[in-house]
Structure 1
Amino acid sequence: MKVGVFSCKPYDKDFFAAQNHHFGFELEFLECKLCPETVALAKPFDAVSVFVDDLIDKQVLDALKQYEVSHIALRCRGFSNVDIAYAKTLDISVSRVPYYSHTAVAEHAITLILALDRKLLRSYSRAIDNHYELEGLLGFNLKNRTVGVIGTGEIGKAFIRILNGFGSRVLCYDIAPDNQVDEAGNAYVDLDTLYKESDIISLHCPLTPDSEHMIDHNAIGLMKPNVMLINTSRGGLFNTQALIAGLKSKKIGYLGVDIYEMESEILEDSDGCESIPYDTYDRLATFENVLITSHQGFFTQESLEKVTETTLVNLQYFFAGKVCNETYL
């Protein structure tokens, strides 16, 4: 039972090593992505495990079929990088990890809000220079502030629960409203109302053709002056040029992002993202009221333990000839 673990980081090895003794798989860790150029490396394996940047298209699937690799275990929730329909025609099963980082991502969004609000980076820079002047560090309370939450899935609901603890007024938007959110005293509104009334807007929704660039010039034009925007979801929800214009005009007072449109191109030299000039990203990073983190919202010990455990259980199901309805696609 040999498994090739692609796109493997040192921390992946550590977490797999800590749990694999319960399963007994022969794991081989590969740092490279699985894609048409590297798929020959999958030949020795019975199954492969991949992450979000691996490209499992028809060419890769045909090769996997030829090598008699019969299962793909995703170490993530999303599966847009896998041609699921074609995999089924080849009788290659695919599993994923649907639940692992709701609390982690929600807490990271709150972290971005508090860091921006209380101007922690600027304060830290002053303090290490023995400069303790408070001018320019004025923040605001989250209690009674209106926070707009776009997307009330599991991450959105975890985020809302934290906001409720702060005493914030929460406005929500989702194409499929959740009764639990209503019952907790939070209000669903249309997008225009959310844009107009929110002091802070946080995105927790998937990237689809309908949601791409939902935060554009028109949306920003409806928002309050000095609005705070937070995105720990998908970079393509933002129109980056519109963000820059909003920051320059000071309509956007704060911006916190854990993922952005050009992230894959900059960090991974990937072809699977929009072509955005490097100087556009450089311009965004020059604003002192912008906080960019390195797509780390999910990155907690608890999340990685869950990812590893679920991936190994999915492989166990596969090798036992079974299907887990919750995690198999």
Structure 2
Amino acid sequence: MEILAFGVQSDERPLIQRAFAGHHDVRCLDVFLTEDTAPIAAGHEIISTSVNCGLGHRVLQTLAAGGTQMIAQRSTGFNNIDLDVAERLGMTAARVSYYSPYSVAEFAWTLGMAVNRRIVRAATRTRDFDFRLDGLMGRDMRGRTVGVIGTGKIGEAFTRIAHGFGMSLLGWDVAENPACRELGMEYVSKERLLAESDLITLHVPLMPATQHLIDAAALRAMKDDAILVNSSRGGLVDTAALVSELREGRFTGVGLDVYEAEAGLFFLDKSMEAVEDDTLARLVTFPNVLVTSHQAYYTLDAVGQIIDTTLNNVLDYTAGRRSENVLVPRS
């Protein structure tokens, strides 16, 4: 059976082909799944998608009409898939429930430190042989307070890093993580966490209850010199409200690996095109803001685990098995 994989990065291609060798043929496409590209999948019972592929009702209807019955998502997040429609169409969908939490946690810490120590500005200057220190002053993290919103596997890994740097630990989640408690984390209200934290990092899934979790009111509750890091999902932050606060000169730094309107932008080369997203265009002009292209998960270790799990999801489907990764069971 040939499996069609959408949105495959060049670094991923050999890993996918190597993993699937001896099991199924796999055809890797660099294009993302959209209404325009969905007809390409005709005749493929199984397709694989990335988190920036759009699987709304029209795309799913096109896929179903073309014979697709199984969607193997190469990510933990699945807010891009209309699961109700997939179920009505008799399609099954599976995701990757787990991969290295250290990949995202380490990158989130790196973002925080990069904006704190003005790394991008310093690197840009030195390329022009400008070695002044003006405007590059950062802060020690030791003795300051970190607020971890979402203390699951990734939040715990981030907490361990912050603990190693000697920070005070505040946490907020629907359920406490005993491992974080053992590290000295104090679970507090979201309001207190926002008000007291010098660095705030987000590690919760995107769902209706967390959409714009960091809204205008939450941003106003933060310290003027706080650092905000989001390596989870763009929709957790009200970007327009964030821009408004940045225009007032607030925050030491903001590190964003995700953006709420990233679909159709991230993972693509838009360098030769006019920027149509005014909010993103304004966001990247702030000297204390660092935006990266949803790469926190992108390590050899994590991507390898994602691909291996995707293969296992496909093998489970063809064998009629069901695992914890299944979002919509086979009808």
**What TM-score results when the alignment is normalised by the length of structure 1?**
0.89
Give the C-alpha shift of residue 267 in structure 1: 4.2
8 Å Cα contact 1:226-1:250 kept in structure 2: no
- Are the counterparts in 1 of residues 79 and 207 from structure 2 also a CA contact under 8 Å? no
For residues 224 and 168 of structure 2, the distance between their equivalents in structure 1, rounded to whole angstroms, comes to: 18
- 2:271 corresponds to which residue? none
- Structure 1 unaligned residues grouped into runs of 5+: 270-275
Distance 1:60 1:156, change over 3 A: same
Deviation digits for residues 270-306 of structure 1 (CA, Å, limit 9, x no counterpart): xxxxxx9723222221111111111111111111111
- Cα RMSD of the aligned pairs, angstroms, is 2.2
Runs of 5+ consecutive residues of structure 2 not aligned to the other structure:
269-274
Map of 2:9 onto structure 1: 9
Deviation per CA, 1:185-221: give whole Å up to 9, x if none: 1010001111111111111112233322232332222
Answer whether contact 2:115 2:252 (CA < 8 A) is retained: no
Alpha-carbon separation, structure 2, partners of 1:120 and 1:317: 45
> How many residue pairs end up in the alignment?
321
**Mean CA deviation greater in 93-102 or 303-312:** 93-102
**What is the match of residue 78 of structure 1?**
77
Q: Is the 8 A contact 1:240 1:261 kept in 2?
A: yes
Does the Cα contact within 8 Å between 1:104 and 1:299 map onto a contact in 2?
Answer: yes
User: 2:31 corresponds to which residue?
Assistant: 32
Q: 1:52, CA displacement in angstroms?
A: 1.6
Tell me the residue number matched to 1:273.
none
Give the CA deviation at 1:139. Answer: 1.6
Kindly indicate whether the alpha-carbon contact (under 8 Å) linking 1:2 and 1:44 is maintained by their aligned counterparts in 2: no
- Corresponding residue for residue 327 of structure 1: 325
Choose between structure 1 and 2 for higher RCO, CA contacts under 8 A separated by at least 6 residues.
2
* 1:89 CA drift (Å): 4.1
Question: Hey, what does 1:88 align to over in structure 2?
Answer: 87
Q: How far is the alpha carbon of 1:66 from its aligned partner? A: 4.1
Q: Does 1:221 align with 2:186?
A: no
CA contact (8 A) 2:17 2:26 kept: no
Structure 1 residue 268, shift from structure 2 partner: 7.7
Give the match for residue 55 of structure 1: 54
- Structure 1 residue 265: Cα displacement: 5.0
Q: Which residue of 2 aligns with 1:172?
A: 171
Shift of 1:266: 4.1
Q: Following the alignment from structure 2 to structure 1, what is the Cα–Cα distance between the partners of residues 94 and 173?
A: 27
Q: Distance in 1 between matches of 2:142 and 2:217?
A: 28
Structure 1 residues 112 and 51, CA, compared in 2 at 3 Å: closer, same or farther?
same
> 1: distance between equivalents of 2:37 and 2:101?
32
How many angstroms apart in 2 are the aligned matches of 1:307 and 1:32? 19
Question: 1:187 and 2:186 equivalent?
Answer: yes
Equivalent residue letter for 2:97: P
Other structure's SS at 2:120 match: helix
Contact kept in structure 1, 2:171 and 2:185, CA below 8 Å: yes
**Aligned equivalent of 1:124:** 123
- SS of structure 2 residue aligned to 1:263: coil
Q: Distance in 2 between matches of 1:241 and 1:62?
A: 33
Q: Deviations over 1:111-139 (max 9, x none)?
A: 11111111112222333333333332222
| Offset of residue 150 of structure 1 | 0.8
Identity in percent: 37
